[in-house]
Amino acid sequence: MKGCLLAGALLLMSGAVWAEASAVPAKSLTSAKPQIIARDAWVREVPPVSPAAALFVTLHNAGAKAVAITKMSSPVAERVEWHDMIMADGHMRMSQRHVIELPVGDTALAPGASHLMLLNLRQPLRVGDSVPVRLSLANGEVLALNATVRATQPNKQAPHEH
């Protein structure tokens, strides 16, 4: 019980901003109006032995200017990185973004586009699991979101003959 109270007190002191995987806006524990709101956070299902998984989310910057993400972390992964998909020599490839600025308005992280990579997973991720991720912002806010692991949809390819 003391551990729960201590954890709650530390959370309140941290000024964390919470967002759920649904479209419910984040709530700030220290201010009435957080600058960044997360919506529809989800992780693509991967095989249990996979060392990495992709996380998708829409981040809404409700402020008057861009804000930088200074740190990203998750207890289920050794590290979290922002990756962009880039066309090079006729092939799509991932490229890590080192400087992350969220412009005013929506930034959608989606399959085939920018996304967060959960690298060196510490545990298997199963459909329905909630994956906590923390984004520390340059304005002092911490966005704590929970992304739900969703089943991978099979590729819908036209049947072919042999």
Enter the tokens of residue 111.
């399959």
Q: Block means of pLDDT (10 residues each) for the chain, length 162 residues?
A: 39 37 41 80 96 97 95 98 90 88 96 96 97 95 96 57 42
User: pLDDT of 10-26, one tens digit each?
Assistant: 333 333 333 433 333 44
Question: What is the per-residue pLDDT across 131-157, written as a single tens digit (0 to 9) for each?
Answer: 999 999 999 999 999 999 999 865 544
Q: Would you give the DSSP letter of residue 2?
A: H
Pick the CATH number of 32-149 from 3.90.105.10, 2.60.40.1890, 1.20.1250.20, 3.30.9.10: 2.60.40.1890
Residues 74, 83: Cα–Cα separation, whole Å = 16
DSSP string covering 58-103, please? EEEE-SSS-EEEEEEEBTTEEEEEEEEEEEETTEEEEEEESSEEE-
Q: What are phi and psi of 140, to 5 degrees?
A: 95, -15
